[in-house]
Amino acid sequence: MTPMGDPVPVRPPVRIANCSGFYGDRLSAMHEMLAGGELDYLTGDYLAELTMLILGRDRMKDPDRGYARTFLRQLEECVGLAADRGVRIVANAGGLNPAALARAVRSLTEKLGVAVSVAHVEGDDLLSRAEALGLGDPLTANAYLGAWGIVECLTARADIVVTGRVTDASVVVGPAAAHFGWRRTDFDRIAGAVAAGHVIECGTQATGGNFAFFARDFPDLTALTRPGFPIAEIHADGTSVITKHPGTGGAVTTDTVTAQLLYEITGARYANPDATLRVDSIELSADGVDRVRISGVRGEPPPPTAKVGLNTLGGFRNEMTFVLTGLDVEAKAGLVRHQLEAGLTVRPAEMDWTLARTDRPDADSEQAASALLRCVVRDPDPDVVGRRFSSAAVELALASYPGFTTTAPPGDGQVYGVFTAAYVPATEVPHTAVRPDGTHVDIEAAPQTLALADLPAPVLPDAPTPGSTRRVPLGTIAGARSGDKGGSANVGVWVSSAQQWAWLVHTLTVDTVRELLPEVADLPVTRHVLPNLRAVNFVIDGILGKGVAYQARFDPQAKGLGEWLRSRHIDIPEELLA
């Protein structure tokens, strides 16, 4: 940690903005951010676990591909504006091929006649060493690098830095560390930038997008037509203010920032290759309209291991959804299931059935009278889940339950991927900055590390005195955000007041969550308590099977899991509902 007497250089805050939260985000966002106000850096996060699988398949077709091509489309319109405004760009759009993207950027800027210097960061791709590192034979194997390759490129005066698989926050940490000249052991300051980076890396999720209380906080829905992308004003001591350009949609509030801080985390320690962020240390406070200050952040040395994301091709999948209308829904489901399974000459390796009772009795529309029966099949042989499965399903059209229909005709089997995370010693992962002049600089592993460990249980407020309650949805007072972590999911739940927090932390236990969400009743569930954020975070292992592309459930990324939890009814004290 930073020594207490270490002087902090007096420099103005650095303004670092985001223009992409995923591969496919708003194409115009780069121009909006550059034209909307003053910035020092513009960053973009284009990578996710599923994206790496998509890019891996791209690279199989063409070894010169494997990067986010939309980044080039954005640059074609915006690189001149960025150069004119002196805004430097850092993005992980390089995916599996950052060197190829850097070459493409140079070719583009030369064609446009815009004089900018381009650098890239590489070393994360461990595919050629996967077997030697005990990682098997995956399609992709990418370690999560930190920020210091970006720092080296920026110090070498690069205007555009593209990377492969760095952590989402690293594209923000790198510019901040380069701007202020932080040392690698300035863990509190680095962790502050990690927190800011985590808030803005998913774009408009920090400014009202996917926000639990949108109906309460945005009664005029036009305010959410196009939420503005977020900006982090990071100070030399690691504190920051999250904001957005004036006049843009959405809002930045302590609730929108809390929601994003809880997104896809585990416990009180949030590991990063440069510093471990103590999430339990974060303090949020309003700093004016659309301004939220993040302070009090503590950091620790990073863990000695590096996370490696592995994508493998798991086989082929297909699905059919049958529409069951009116009476005898359960019997209709039983009939078509029996018929389809009996009609398959070869049974797929996996066959999952899910009946969604979306029907209502005495419904006033046919749609409201209908339920959905979904059948998902997986097998190593594409023919088993393709032609054979589809033919068996189609043959039932005139021979099954009354009112037989499906949501779509059957198709061919599609390849699916399996994501797993592995860990290797950080010293085994090369990390190379390729400067604008083409020279390569090796970035050493962190000089100081600390293995992750559980923290002592935090001090909790006293449980509230029992009183009169009302049975209402949990979301009446609690917000939530959920997301995927490989085959697992997290659900972060928070409240706004100290009184609500005293009730929530004693009420929303693992057993309560298992009761409210029957789908997780038999799965490992871990609760993490974060008093500063008045939040509890639940990690549910195995709910997504073998990862997003496996599609074990109809919500394969668990994005709606938190909203399901909020919709469940629970006894809440009357005084908290006033």
- Rounded to 10 degrees, what is the CA torsion of 266, 209, 498, 473? -90
- Alpha-carbon dihedral of residues 48, 217, 34, 25, nearest 10 degrees? 30
Residue 571 has pLDDT above 50, yes or no: yes
Average pLDDT in the chain: 95
| Predicted local confidence at residue 4, as pLDDT | 46
Tens of pLDDT along 264-293?
999 999 999 999 999 999 999 999 999 999
In 230-245, which positions are buried (b, 16+ CB within 10 angstroms) versus exposed (e)? bbbbbbbbbbbbbbbb
pLDDT in tens, 145-160: 999 999 999 999 999 9
278-281's contacts with Cβ under 8 Å and 24+ in sequence apart are: 278/191, 279/195, 279/530, 279/533, 280/455, 280/458, 280/530, 280/531, 280/532, 281/532
In the prediction, which pLDDT does 326 show?
98
- Condensed to tens digits (0 to 9), the pLDDT of residues 316-372 reads 999 999 999 999 999 999 999 999 999 999 999 999 999 999 999 999 999 999 999
pLDDT tens profile 478-493: 999 999 988 999 999 9
Report the distance separating Cα 296 and Cα 277, nearest Å: 11
| 14-18 vs 230-234, strand pairing mode | antiparallel
Nearest CA among 143, 194, 448 for reference residue 303: 448
Q: Sign (positive/negative) of CA torsion 415, 420, 426, 428?
A: negative
Average pLDDT value for residue range 187-199:
98
> What are the DSSP E strand ranges found in 326-468?
350-356, 370-379, 405-406, 414-425, 432-434, 440-442
Where would I find the H helices in 270-421? 329-343, 382-385, 387-394
Note the pLDDT of residue 485. 86
List for the chain the helix, strand, coil content (%; round to 5). Answer: 30, 25, 40
CA distance 380 to 385: 9
Q: Which residue has the tokens 């809440």?
A: 572
- Average pLDDT of the residues in 392-414: 93
CB atoms within 10 A of CB 12: 10
- Over 80: is that where the pLDDT of 512 sits? yes
> Residue 9: what pLDDT?
53
| pLDDT at 6 (0 to 100) | 58
Q: What pLDDT is recorded for position 2?
A: 46
The reported pLDDT for the residue numbered 7 is: 57
Distance between CA 543 and CA 488 in Å, rounded? 6
Percent of the chain past pLDDT 90, that is, above it, reads: 90
Which domains are delineated in the chain? 14-303+425-442 (no CATH), 310-418 (3.30.70), 469-577 (no CATH)
- β-pair partners for 283: 295
The pLDDT value given to residue 191: 98
Do 449 and 426 meet the contact criterion of CB atoms below 8 Å apart? yes
The pLDDT tens digits of the residues spanning 89-113 come to 999 999 999 999 999 999 999 999 9
Closest CA to 460 of 534, 513, 526: 534
Structure-block tokens of residue 80: 């001149």
Residue 178 three-state SS: helix
Query: Is pLDDT at 470 greater than 70 in this prediction?
Result: yes
pLDDT tens digits for 375-391?
999 999 999 999 899 99
